[in-house]
Every structure is written in C-alpha cells, then in structure tokens.
Amino acid sequence: MSKQNYTIVVIEDDPLVNTTIRSILSSKYSRVETFTDPVRGLDELHLLAPDLVLLDIFLGHANGLDILEQLRKQGYNMPVIMMTAFSDIKMAVRAMRLGAEDFIVKPLDLEQLEVSIERSLKNFDLRRQVNLLSEQLKKEQPSEILGNSPEMKKALDLAKIISGADDTTVLIMGETGTGKELLARYIHENSPRAKGPFVTINCGAIPRELAENELFGYERGAFTGATEKIKPGKFEQAQHGTIMLDEIAELSLELQVKLLRVLQERRFYRLGGAKEISVDVRVIASTNKDLEKLVEEEKFREDLFYRLNVARMHLPPLRDRGEDIMRLSTAFVTEFNKKFNKSIKGFTPDAVNLIRTYYWKGNVRELRNVIERVVLLEQHEIISRESLSFIKINHTVTVSSNQAEIYLNDGEHFLKIAENGVTMGNVLKDLLVQTLKITGGNQIKAAKLLGISRAKLRYRIEQLGINISGKEIK
C-alpha cells in the first residue's frame, strides 16, 4: 500500500507518545514530524507546510489552546486535532471555538486517532476544492477533450505518459484557444496528484505589480491595503496538486527569477514575509509565443526556459485537425441546445464547408463562441451558411474552376496554382519549399517572409515531411 502524500506534525511533550504516534502514522503518510518543544515546532511549521497538526493541550509552560489561537491568527488553516489527558467539556468547547478539527482524550485510542486524522484530511481537501470550484464555476467550458485527428491522438498519448511522472514540469505550446488549459487539467486528473487541487493563473491577465501577490501571497503590511495577516498565493493553494501558469511569457524578468527558484527548491517568500514557505506542487506552464525566440531576444530567461522545457508538448491549431472541427461543432451544438432549450439537428453542406475551410484564428475557443451565437439565434432545425454570415471571411481556402488560392495571415502572401490534383497539404508544402530555397534554407528569414513564427515553421516542416537535412531542399 503506497503512502498518502500528506505531512503530519505532532507537538507533544511526552517522547513516548511521540514515538508511538510516529510509528503508527509513518506507515500511512509520507512525512510525520514530531516535536517535544512547542517553540521549535512552531518555528519550523512554515518550512514543513503541514496538512494536519496533532497538538497536546498541556505542554509544560505552554498551553496548546493558546498555540491553536496563535496559529489561526497567523493565517494557518490546516486542521488541528487537540489531545489531552483530561476530559473537560469546557476545554473541548473552547478548542472547537478556536478552530480545532477534533478533540481526543488520552490514553489515545490509536484506531480512533487514525479515523479522526483520515476524516480531518478528507474534509480539509474538500474545503480547498470547494473554494477553488467557486472560482472555476465562472468559467463555463467543456471539460472533455474531443478529437480523433492524428495530431490530437499524439498529444493525448504523450499527455498520458507525462501524467505518470507527478513532479515533472510540463511546457505546453500552442496558439490561443487550442485548449492548453484543458490539456493541463487532463494531465492533472490522470496523475497521482488528481485528489489535490488544480489551480490556474493567467500571467498575462493580471497587472505586473500584482503578479507576485497572486503567485506567492502576502503578509500584513507588505503594501498599502494588505490588511490580512496572511493571504496565501496560488502556489500555496495548489499544495499537493498542480499549478498551471498560463501565458508564462508575460511574466516580468524579475518574477522569472523568483519562479526559477521555486522550481529549483520548491520554496519561496510571501511578499512582506520573513520566513520561507515550502510547497509540494507540479508546475505546468503554457504559452502561445515562441519562447526560444524570446530567449534569443533576451526577453525570457534562458535558465528558466530550460527548467520549464522538461516535458514539452505542442497542441495543433484547429485548422490542422481535419474532422475534429465538425466533431467539436456537433458537441458544441449539443451543449448549447441544452443551455438554450433548442433542438438543432445539424448543418447544411454549405455550412459544413464554411466551417471546415475557415481559418479559425481563435481556434477551439472561437469555434465555441461562434456555435453558441448561432444556436442562440437560429430559428430553424438546421444551421445554414446564412446563419454563419457574421463570420468575416479573411482566412479561407477558396476554389474556383481555374485556380485555388491559399491565403495566409491577412492575405499578404498567397499562392495561385492549378486546381487539378491539388490538396491543401501539397500547396503548403510547395510554398514552404520555395520560400526555403529563396532564403537558402535560413528558417528565420523564411518565417519572416511567410509572416509566421519560427516555431510554427519548424512544426510545418516536420508535419509535411520536408527534407532539410541535405544541401538540396526537397
């Protein structure tokens, strides 16, 4: 039986009781620390970051109830189980009012102790989950990752492998709206950390001056308005779980240094705090930018990039996922049928053709928003091309009797070729090969000519099987 990933701290002045409790709990929990000196125990509490504290009431010159009150005032919210040799109802009532989780009388019934600890840990985990879910309810989004395209199957297969290593840092690359947060959640839910919290923070959505508060929390007096004794940050909220740092490229260089230290040592200081905090979290970072290019431009720290780039994944854009586009469209229609009490059955062929050939710059997020709008306003059972007339056709594949035109970006670069035997893959491959020949194989120059990132160019080269290993590009 594997040990549960919890840290238990015991503060008890009787060495024999400490030894007994440690021997019982060490077989079940990953870390059990005991202290006969309450002062030393309190001094090390911030480093241990316990999930539960067993606290004796009578500790020589110290009183466990006073210590409990002190812990709560300092902002510690882990469950505390009080122990005493005296069965005093008034003492028990005071302990509960001060925030004790349970009250156990000595001599200890070890079976009762184990049940109390297990119940307290379970309740604590549930409370943390409820607090996080109350924030996540504001973000209505599908929790299932849909897709049978080779690109998505490859991504999910890799995600399953990565999820098994619960401490491995993950870097997810992909355009905006491709589902990076869903993939991160998928990794978390299939990992040994699945029972722990999954916490997300969008590094690009918060002001830079507040980013450190959000990540690491603060203590009273750290800045004007910091009135709470302790305000835990996202890293503390993610204890024993996973934290996702979305849009990691938006972090300031100063914060990148602090994040690097957390990744290396799993310790940090709250803003305005004097003591280090220890955390047990897995970090998943995501970005829609080319971090390697930012490193070259000295806009992103090279050492942090290498620390993040342990398990690297790439989510393909929606336009490259073939039949997944219509699978997702159908799933979204079903979702919004329920939400708006509609009964839309499907799409006309013209509507399907438009959806399949549209560029979808915003990827899955844009598709979902489009389908939500259509289902809300649609008066018929079938969605037609006219229903989608609000879509601005800037990025499509259009085919006439004589030619096919592939428009990239805003139409600045295009290629006209004969229609017979043409596939989109062949058009793109020919375009990339010719561009690479023009630039003498220089990928940076080729990417600039095409108006795409170097990372996207490399992805296309690999996807289309373009041979650049020899002198002659094929």
Which one of 3.40.630.30, 1.20.1270.30, 3.40.50.300, 3.40.50.450 gives the CATH number of domain 159-314? 3.40.50.300
Is the omega angle on the peptide bond into residue 107 within 30 degrees of 0, that is, cis?
Answer: yes
pLDDT digits (tens, 9 = 90+) for 122-178: 998 888 777 776 555 544 444 457 778 888 889 999 999 999 888 899 999 999 999
Q: What is the mean pLDDT of the chain?
A: 84
Residues 234, 226 contacting (CB under 8 angstroms): no
Tokens of 468: 């650049």
Cβ 351 vs Cβ 383: under 8 Å: yes
Residue 393: pLDDT band (50, 70, 90) is: low
CATH of domain 398-463: 1.10.10.60
Confidence of residue 370 (pLDDT cuts 50, 70, 90): very high
Query: With 60 as the cut, is the pLDDT of residue 474 above it?
Result: no
Considering the entire predicted model, what is its pTM?
0.63
Residues of the chain with CATH 1.10.10.60: 398-463
CATH class of 318-395: mainly alpha
In the chain, CATH 1.10.8.60 sits at 318-395
**What residues contact residue 315 under an 8 Å CB cut-off, 6+ apart?**
155, 172, 173, 174, 175, 178, 179, 180, 183
Whether 75 shows a pLDDT value over 60: the answer reads: yes
Query: Does the structural domain 4-134 have CATH classification 3.40.50.1010?
Result: no
Token readout for 467 is 């041979």
Interior angle at CA 179, CA 176 and CA 182, nearest 5: 140
CATH 3.40.50.300 boundaries in the chain: 159-314
User: Residue type for 287, please?
Assistant: T
